[in-house]
Chain A
Amino acid sequence: MRNFTGTLKAAFEYIDQELGHSSDLSFRQCQIGSDNTPALIMWVDGLINKQSLNNDIISPLMSGSRSINRVDSDETTINFISHSLITTTEVIQVTSYESLIPLLINGWSVVIIEGIDIMIAANTQGLETRSIDEPASTSVIRGPRDGFVESIDTNISLIRRRVKNKLVRVENHWIGNMSHTKIAMMYIFDRANPDTVSEVRTRLDHIDIDAILESQYIEDLIKDSPSSFFPTVYSTERPDDVAGAILEGRVAIIVDGTPFALVLPCTLFHLLKTTEDLYLSYPIATFIRWIRFIGFFITLLLPASYLGVLTYHPEMVPPQLLSSILSARDGVPFPLLMETLLMELTFEGLREASIRMPKSIGSAISIVGALVIGESAVKAGIISSPSVIIVAGTAIASFTIPSISLSATIRLLRFVMIILASFLGLYGIMIGLFLLGIHLSSIKSVGMPYLAPFAPFRPKEAERALVRVPWFTLRKRQK
Chain B
Amino acid sequence: MIKNKISNGQFFFIIFVAIASLTFFSVPSQLVGKVKQDLWFSMVLGTLIDVYVASLLYWLGLKYREQSLIQYTNEIMGFLGRVINVIYLIFFLGAIITSMWIFCDFLSRSFMPETPRIVFSITMTICAGFAAGKGIETIARLSQIIGVLILLTSLILFASALPYVHIGLLFPQFENGFLPSTLGAIYPGSWFGICVIMGMLMPHMKAPKKTLKVKVSAVILGSFIMTLFLLYSIATMGSNMAGQFENPIYILTRISHFIIFERIEVLLLLIFISGSFITISTLFYSVTVGTAQLFKNRTHTIWVYIFGSIIIFSPVFPYSQNSYIVEEYLSHWFPYVALSIEGGLTTLIFLVALIKTSVKNKS
Contacts and interface: CB of A to CB of B under 8 A. Distances in A.
Contacts of A313: 263, 266
Given A312-B112, A427-B111, A442 B138 contact: yes
B193 to A, nearest CB: 26
A457 B9 contact: yes
Interface string A406-431: 00000000000000000011111011
Interface in B115-164: 115, 119-120, 123, 126-127, 130-131, 134-135, 137-138, 140-142, 144-145
Interface in B237-291: 260-264, 266-267, 270, 273-274, 277
Given A435-B127, A438-B127, A457-B9, A427 B138 contact: no
A428 B131 CA distance: 17
Contacts of B262: 315, 318-319
B144 A455 contact: yes
Contact of A454 (B119, B145, B264): B145
A318 B260 contact: yes
Interface in B96-117: 107, 111-112, 115
A193 B115 CA distance: 52
B10 interface: yes
B71 interface: no
Nearest to A320: B260
Contacts of A454: 144-145
B141 A426 contact: no
A7 interface: no
Contacts, number: 80
A449 B141 contact: yes
Nearest to B145: A455
B127 A434 contact: yes
Contacts of B7: 456-457
B142 A457 contact: no
Contact of A427 (B112, B130, B137): B112
Given A438-B134, A438-B142, A457-B7, 17 more contacts: A312-B112, A313-B266, A316-B261, A316-B267, A426-B270, A427-B112, A427-B123, A427-B270, A430-B273, A434-B127, A434-B131, A434-B274, A438-B138, A441-B141, A449-B141, A455-B142, A456-B141
30 contacts: A312-B112, A316-B264, A318-B260, A318-B261, A318-B262, A426-B266, A426-B270, A427-B111, A427-B270, A427-B273, A430-B273, A431-B123, A434-B131, A437-B142, A438-B127, A442-B134, A442-B138, A451-B141, A451-B145, A454-B145, A455-B140, A455-B141, A455-B144, A455-B145, A456-B9, A456-B140, A456-B141, A457-B7, A457-B10, A457-B144
Interface of A: 312-313, 315-316, 318-319, 424-428, 430-431, 433-435, 437-438, 441-442, 449, 451, 454-457
